[in-house]
């Protein structure tokens, strides 16, 4: 078994990604290309992360597109690390990216690095110099910027623009050999300083930079810029459809210019909208800042929108793929409600998560007419959505815990849970009626004494009498202690970047994004639950065992609460529109 097989096997998605459903314009482009036999009907894509941080949910959208579409048309996808910025890139990131892509349920055909092409790129730069299409410039980076002009003014040509080919070849070679200090010279494409598109105003192709590269070490002291590396890497790999986000739309003429001037494989770039989510930051740079400043516990903190964060939190790859398919792609950037992502998580967990009972804020219940040394096992359904998940036994005894919220000494109007004189159903248990309370010195209720009706075993009364409420519980002597971590949004504003002038996005961090609940009691079937396992705690939400869990100290993350605001919003919207239609 290869390491990748092992990973695949460990992943809950070994069955592979669901077929995409939503139609999108990129699919239409590919369909047309296949029909007209462009690229001989071949479809090959790449996912090109820069290994300068962990992948986030925005990358998941790109991954689902790149891998999903290629798969749909019988093609393949390369995973290519776009590693042309040696100062920011690390092997740790390379490894996390591979793990995350696989966890999402995808497997690449080839694992590649832009840095593998440094020799070829260098030769292509020489080819452009020889064709009179590139020159070595002595302007500093600042000067290059000043000469570039503005939106309304054309740029100015550099005084070094018309060097002879021989001189350019000599200087470029000496740049490579390390004869000049960092930033002293650069190689530029000779295109058009008056172009309305800034990217075409003699873009820089190579810069001098003495930095150790995570793969090529100190072999190079000149590095190609994104635009000179990306399209050519696509070409080398014979990528047919190179999908990227909209901010690269203005780079497309340059992408095509290099391909044309070099006479290489004509990959095509197609841009789509970047994923933005409310209350969420999707920028590796800013997420790195949160990690570095200790604002979160790490890249995999369950509050982070990173793939490793949402995995630890309990999101499923299926939910993320369904979400990505459902949002589709467009040509304008917008923002998606975080509630919609959560809706997909709930929908998927509802199908697969086993139900268990857990009490987050325990209140002791004593059933006075239940024999003191008796215990029995109640039969509980593991998943009403999937009866093949079977049943389990839950111990019941005289002393139980229920949620503090499920008892009121003075119930407000409309409160149907337990209160003095009122009867409720214990899920899978009996009907109980509260008789009296025991209070501590502060006057707080610490025990509720009840009676039970032995005829209601399993939760139904033979005389057909009804109760208005069913509550969950655990047996006090059998329950297992646990810690639960409840997460709220990491930011207080729908747009975390919305800050007063001079302030940083960190000003919008939610100080209450993590709440730790210590004295939780869970049913004993969870005693040996393993990290990563997901459950529904009945009536409370979905929870996932955290890797901090040990045999004597269970720790759960709340993945998402049960309440589904997105489903409600959708219902309202469709009710609103059907109302209008009438």
Q: Given the complex with ligand ATP, which of 94 and 489 has the nearer CB atom?
A: 94
Q: What is the DSSP string of 25-67?
A: HHHHHHHHHHHTTGGGG--EEEE---SSS--BHHHHHHHHHHH
- Picked from Mg ion, ligand ATP, none, the partner binding residue 49 (CB below 5 to 8 A depending on kind) is ligand ATP
274 is catalytic: yes
* Binding region for Mg ion (CB under 5 A) out of 46-54, 259-267, 307-315, 556-564: 46-54
- Picked from Mg ion, ligand ATP, none, the partner binding residue 48 (CB below 5 to 8 A depending on kind) is ligand ATP
Pairing of strands 445-453, 399-403: unpaired
Question: Which residue, judged by CB position, is nearest to ligand ATP in the bound state?
Answer: 58
Rounded distance, CA 571 to CA 573, Å? 5
Q: Which residues contact 353 (CB under 8 A, 6 or more apart)?
A: 383, 534, 535, 536, 542
Separate counts of helices (H) and strands (E) for the chain: 14, 25
- Picked from Mg ion, ligand ATP, none, the partner binding residue 62 (CB below 5 to 8 A depending on kind) is ligand ATP
Maximum Cα interatomic distance, the chain, rounded to a whole number of Å: 102
- Residue 192 as a binder of Mg ion (CB under 5 A): the answer is no
- Given the residues 31, 274, 393, 457, the one annotated as active site: 274
CB of 579 to ligand ATP, least distance (A): 34
* Binding region for Mg ion (CB under 5 A) out of 48-56, 215-223, 476-484, 557-565: 48-56
- Picked from ligand ATP, Mg ion, none, the partner binding residue 361 (CB below 5 to 8 A depending on kind) is none
Tell me the C-alpha to C-alpha distance, in Å, between residue 176 and each of 70, 85, 121. 38, 16, 12
Using an 8 Å Cβ cutoff, are 208 and 181 in contact? yes
- Closest by CA to 540, choosing from 353, 380, 339, is 353
CB of 304 to ligand ATP, least distance (A): 12
- Given the residues 207, 284, 312, 321, the one annotated as active site: 284
- Applying CB under 6 A, the residues found at the interface with ligand ATP are 48-50, 58-59, 61-62, 82, 244-245, 274-275, 282-284
Q: Which residues contact 422 (CB under 8 A, 6 or more apart)?
A: 411, 416, 433, 434
Output b/e per residue, 483-500; b: 16+ Cβ within 10 A. bbbbbebbbeeeebeeee
Applying CB under 5 A, the site for Mg ion has a residue count of: 1
- Picked from Mg ion, ligand ATP, none, the partner binding residue 244 (CB below 5 to 8 A depending on kind) is ligand ATP
Question: Which residue, judged by CB position, is nearest to Mg ion in the bound state?
Answer: 50
- The helix (H) or strand (E) run that includes residue 577 is helix 565-581
Q: Sign of dihedral through CA atoms 216, 221, 225, 230?
A: negative
Q: Which residues contact 501 (CB under 8 A, 6 or more apart)?
A: none
CB of 47 to Mg ion, least distance (A): 13
Tell me the C-alpha to C-alpha distance, in Å, between residue 554 and each of 517, 522, 560. 12, 9, 18
Alpha-carbon dihedral 96, 271, 88, 138, rounded to 10 degrees: 160
- Residue 50 as a binder of Mg ion (CB under 5 A): the answer is yes
* Binding region for Mg ion (CB under 5 A) out of 42-50, 439-447, 466-474, 559-567: 42-50
CB of 307 to Mg ion, least distance (A): 16
- Given the residues 50, 385, 447, 483, the one annotated as active site: 50
Q: Given the complex with Mg ion, which of 85 and 350 has the nearer CB atom?
A: 85
CB of 242 to ligand ATP, least distance (A): 9
Q: How many CA atoms lie within 13 A of 408 on its CB side?
A: 9
284 is catalytic: yes
CB of 58 to ligand ATP, least distance (A): 2
331 is catalytic: no
Region of 502 please: left (phi>0), alpha (psi -120 to 50) or beta. left
- Picked from Mg ion, ligand ATP, none, the partner binding residue 400 (CB below 5 to 8 A depending on kind) is none
- Picked from ligand ATP, Mg ion, none, the partner binding residue 61 (CB below 5 to 8 A depending on kind) is ligand ATP
Q: Given the complex with ligand ATP, which of 249 and 399 has the nearer CB atom?
A: 249
CB of 50 to Mg ion, least distance (A): 5
Q: Given the complex with ligand ATP, which of 114 and 349 has the nearer CB atom?
A: 114
CB of 391 to ligand ATP, least distance (A): 43
What 3-state class would DSSP assign to 121?
helix
Rounded distance, CA 327 to CA 337, Å? 11
- Picked from Mg ion, ligand ATP, none, the partner binding residue 59 (CB below 5 to 8 A depending on kind) is ligand ATP
- Picked from ligand ATP, Mg ion, none, the partner binding residue 252 (CB below 5 to 8 A depending on kind) is none
Q: Given the complex with ligand ATP, which of 242 and 525 has the nearer CB atom?
A: 242
Using an 8 Å Cβ cutoff, are 505 and 496 in contact? yes
Rounded distance, CA 297 to CA 499, Å? 24
CB of 370 to ligand ATP, least distance (A): 56
Q: Given the complex with Mg ion, which of 94 and 489 has the nearer CB atom?
A: 94
Which residues lie across from 188 on neighbouring strands?
Answer: 135, 204
Q: Given the complex with ligand ATP, which of 317 and 541 has the nearer CB atom?
A: 317
- Picked from Mg ion, ligand ATP, none, the partner binding residue 283 (CB below 5 to 8 A depending on kind) is ligand ATP
- Please give the residues from 479 up to 498 whose contact with Mg ion meets the rule CB under 5 A: none
Q: Given the complex with ligand ATP, which of 50 and 483 has the nearer CB atom?
A: 50
CB of 83 to Mg ion, least distance (A): 11
Q: Given the complex with ligand ATP, which of 170 and 337 has the nearer CB atom?
A: 337
Alpha-carbon dihedral 80, 82, 88, 93, rounded to 10 degrees: -10
Rounded distance, CA 491 to CA 51, Å? 26
Q: Given the complex with ligand ATP, which of 27 and 185 has the nearer CB atom?
A: 27
Rounded distance, CA 435 to CA 445, Å? 13
Query: What are the start-end ranges of the E strands in 158-302?
Result: 186-189, 204-208, 222-224, 241-245, 268-272
- Closest by CA to 116, choosing from 195, 232, 26, is 232
Pairing of strands 76-81, 110-113: parallel
- Residue 274 as a binder of Mg ion (CB under 5 A): the answer is no
Catalytic residues: 50, 274, 284
Site for Mg ion, rule CB under 5 A: 50
């Amino acid at each position: 078994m290869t390491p990748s097989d092992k990973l695949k096997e460990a992943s809950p998605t070994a069955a592979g990604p669901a077929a995409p459903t939503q139609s999108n314009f990129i699919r239409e482009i590919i369909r047309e290309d296949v029909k007209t036999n462009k690229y001989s009907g071949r479809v090959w894509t790449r996912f090109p992360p820069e290994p300068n941080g962990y992948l986030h949910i925005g990358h998941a959208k790109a991954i689902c597109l790149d891998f999903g579409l290629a798969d749909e048309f019988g093609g393949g996808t390369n995973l290519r690390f776009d590693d042309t910025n040696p100062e920011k890139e690390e092997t740790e990131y390379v490894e996390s990216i591979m793990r995350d892509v696989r966890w999402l349920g995808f497997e690449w055909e080839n694992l590649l690095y832009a840095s593998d092409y440094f020799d070829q790129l260098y030769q292509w730069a020489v080819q452009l110099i020889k064709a009179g299409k590139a020159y070595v410039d002595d302007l500093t980076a600042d000067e290059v910027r000043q000469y570039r002009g503005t939106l309304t003014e054309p740029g100015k040509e550099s005084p070094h623009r018309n060097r002879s080919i021989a001189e350019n070849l000599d200087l470029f070679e000496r740049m490579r050999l390390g004869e000049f200090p960092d930033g002293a010279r650069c190689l530029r494409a000779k295109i058009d300083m008056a172009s309305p598109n800034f990217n075409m105003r003699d873009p820089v192709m190579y810069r001098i930079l003495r930095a150790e590269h995570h793969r090529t070490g100190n072999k190079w002291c000149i590095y190609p810029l994104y635009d000179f590396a990306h399209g050519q890497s696509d070409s080398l790999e014979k990528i047919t459809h190179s999908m990227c986000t909209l901010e690269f739309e203005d780079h497309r003429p340059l992408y095509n210019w290099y391909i044309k001037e070099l006479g290489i494989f004509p990959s095509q770039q197609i841009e789509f909208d970047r994923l933005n989510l409310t209350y969420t930051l999707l920028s590796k740079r800013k997420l790195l800042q949160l990690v570095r400043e200790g604002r979160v516990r790490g890249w995999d903190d369950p509050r982070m929108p990173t793939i490793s964060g949402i995995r630890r939190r309990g999101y499923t790859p299926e939910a993320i793929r369904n979400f990505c398919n459902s949002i589709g792609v467009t040509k304008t950037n917008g923002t998606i409600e975080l509630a919609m992502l959560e809706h997909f998580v709930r929908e998927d967990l509802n199908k697969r998560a086993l139900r268990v009972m857990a009490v987050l804020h325990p209140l002791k219940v004593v059933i006075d007419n239940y024999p003191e040394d008796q215990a029995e096992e109640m039969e509980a359904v593991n998943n009403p959505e999937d009866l093949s998940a079977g049943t389990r036994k839950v111990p019941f005894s005289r002393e139980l815990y229920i949620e503090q919220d499920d008892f009121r000494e003075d119930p407000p109007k409309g409160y149907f849970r337990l209160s003095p004189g009122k009867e409720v159903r214990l899920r899978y248990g009996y009907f109980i009626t509260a008789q009296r309370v025991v209070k501590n010195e502060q006057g707080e209720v610490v025990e509720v004494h009840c009676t039970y009706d032995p005829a209601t075993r399993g939760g139904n009364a033979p005389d057909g009498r009804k109760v208005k409420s069913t509550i969950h519980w655990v047996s006090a002597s059998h329950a297992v202690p646990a810690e639960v971590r409840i997460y709220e949004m990491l930011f207080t504003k729908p747009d975390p970047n919305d800050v007063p002038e001079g302030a940083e996005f960190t000003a919008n961090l939610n100080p209450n994004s993590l709440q730790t609940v210590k004295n939780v009691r869970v049913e004993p079937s969870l005693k040996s639950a393993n990290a990563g396992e997901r459950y529904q705690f009945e009536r409370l939400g979905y929870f996932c065992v955290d890797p901090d869990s040990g045999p004597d100290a269970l720790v759960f993350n709340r993945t998402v609460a049960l309440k589904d605001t997105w489903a409600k919003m959708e219902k309202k919207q469709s009710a609103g529109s059907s109302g209008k239609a009438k």
